Chains A and B, each alone.
Chain A
Amino acid sequence: MRRHAGAIVLFGLAAVAPLATRDAYFLDMIVLILMWGAISSAWNVAGGYAGQVSLGHAAFFGLGAYSAAVLTVHWGLSPWIGLVLGMALSIVAGLIIGYLSNRLRGPYFVLATIAFAQVLLITASRWREMTMGSEGIPVPFKQGFWALGLASKVSWLYLTLGFALALYLVQVYLEVSRMGYQLAGVREDEDAAQALGIAGRRLKVIAIAMSAALTSAGGTFWAQYVGFVDPFYVFSIDLSILFALNTIIGGVGTALGPFLGSILITWLEHYLRATLSDIAPGLIGVHLIIYGCLLIVMVRFVPQGLIGALGALFTWRARAAQRERHART
């Protein structure tokens, strides 16, 4: 239970937050932190647990966002159907990316994932009959759970909390299960894993497809929450980078890491946007400059992320305390 203490505190606080306040800004922040944390966790399944770093995950996010929006707008279908369709499409796309991951390594794979998302971006922004092209799709609001039209922020908070919890549990599963151990082997050394009887290639493809489907679900939720799908945002490389950024800041390959990263990054963005736009509207890009620098500094000096840094701090303290006890006796 102790290893999940951080998660229990985090999700617990989110769960009781509506009791403390009904401030829309505050609740919106929690929804977004949970949402981005969950989607970054989905990235983490491929990028962290399977070791397949992608900068094209916006492709899956966009598929999820568009599937629901398009089905609702054209045929009046429930976004839940769109959610399933988006996940199905993303699994197919994930299988393609997974296939690529077995042919390409390192930078080549990263480049291929970027190109893949770019193809979808261009398609979405040009296929006017289906996607309304570069103007994007306003998602019509229809009240009710079945239509994912939740009027209150509190309902959204609990929905995203459920989603976030699910993602957390998926990651924990990847730490303690047979599949998780085998995946760790593949990530550490694929040749050695194969010699130990692990179907490394298939496992990687499964992990990437899983990651894709979960990212897509996040895309659907996000689009329904925000109410608008813009191709240049949902398929953008900036978004793909954001998923990676949250995870790297928090701790790659850890279940809580993406959520910690999301807290910091989401909060930073909102805080800086609010304060800086008061000073001068031109300053809104400042948070992105900080992201960029943070990324450079983190990967170089704190590759374990916040989790690793905190962990090191605690062990260091524990050791210091131990030394102190020894000194006294």
Chain B
Amino acid sequence: MLALESVTKRFGGLTAVGGVSLDVDEGDLVGIIGPNGAGKTTLFNVIAGYYRPESGRVVFEGRDLTGHPPHEICRLGLTRTFQIVKPFGNLSVRDNVMIGALTRVRSVAAARTDADRVVERCGLGDYAGVVAKSLPIGLRKRLELARALATRPRLLLLDEVMAGLNPAELAAMVELIRRVHAGGVTLVVIEHIMAAIMRLTRRIVVLHHGEKIAEGVPARIARDPKVVDAYLGEEFTLE
């Protein structure tokens, strides 16, 4: 479904992502881990069209996305959430989600019905009328996800939607992600919390200094000496 062909992105002299290749099949739930500065978010920015790679290609459902702007990529069915959440702060939760829905339906009324459904599904029903900037962080992460879902993606990139959540919120988020996946959305998830990602995904990709150093099932990744090395001195949360 998604294929990265040795994608490289540099900033000045710094190589943020160096020759990363990756295949994601329809129905996959892939995790991407790596220490801070490993290039995870940069990789998302390249896939979603925010950065143009210096070399390599991003192919989605047989179509070359390289160089396409983010909004076109979203309309093709691939979108992302942001690690630092970007709610439309002065708008209500419903309006936030509705703006996503309007990408698929032209009528405002239909988009509102759509949005209400998504809001409900993401457990934000009680907050539909609340202004987004007054939500606590846990709910903002949900809103981020809800808004992206409203654009009806077939492939969704989640950038640390579990970071900063308390245990109860975390469990609910894992549950929500599972449901989204079960609903037919292919997922690529960046996460720092190893325990969560081990439980959630079937395949993990490890980035370090912008390069892919390992890929495989969670159990093998946890034992891979290269991965353990890369994480030395970093928070290796396996609680």
Contact = CB atoms under 8 A, between A and B. Distances in A.
Verify whether A and B have any Cβ pair under 8 Å.
yes
Interface of A: 176-178, 181-182, 184-185, 188-189, 191-200
Nearest to A188: B88
B48 A198 contact: no
Nearest to B79: A195
Interface of A: prevailing SS = helix
Contact of A185 (B69, B88, B106): B88
Given A178-B108, A182-B102, A184-B99, A195 B80 contact: yes
Contacts of B48: 195
B202 interface: no
10 contacts: A178-B108, A181-B99, A193-B88, A193-B99, A194-B70, A195-B70, A195-B82, A196-B71, A196-B100, A198-B103
A191 B50 contact: yes
A181 B92 CA distance: 12
B148 interface: yes
Nearest to B103: A197
A72 B49 CA distance: 50
B90 interface: yes
Nearest to A201: B69
Contacts, number: 82
Interface residues of B, number: 33
Given A181-B95, A189-B86, A194 B148 contact: no
A184 B95 contact: yes
Contacts of B151: 196-197
Interface of B: 48-50, 69-72, 74-75, 79-82, 86-91, 95, 98-100, 102-103, 106-108, 111, 147-148, 150-151
A182 B99 CA distance: 6
A178 B88 CA distance: 16
A185 B92 CA distance: 11
Given A176-B108, A195-B79, A198-B103, 16 more contacts: A181-B102, A184-B91, A188-B90, A189-B89, A191-B70, A191-B86, A193-B99, A194-B74, A195-B48, A195-B148, A196-B71, A196-B74, A197-B71, A197-B151, A199-B69, A200-B71
A182 to B, nearest CB: 6
Given A182-B102, A195-B82, A197-B151, A189 B88 contact: yes
A189 B87 CA distance: 7
B232 to A, nearest CB: 34
Nearest to B104: A197
Nearest to A198: B71
A181 B108 CA distance: 9
A307 to B, nearest CB: 14
B108 A177 contact: yes
A196 B150 CA distance: 8
B99 A196 contact: yes
The residue in B82, B87, B102, B103 that gathers the most chain A C-beta atoms within 10 A of its C-beta is B102
Contacts of A199: 69, 71-72
A194 B88 contact: no
B52 to A, nearest CB: 14
Contacts of B70: 191, 194-195
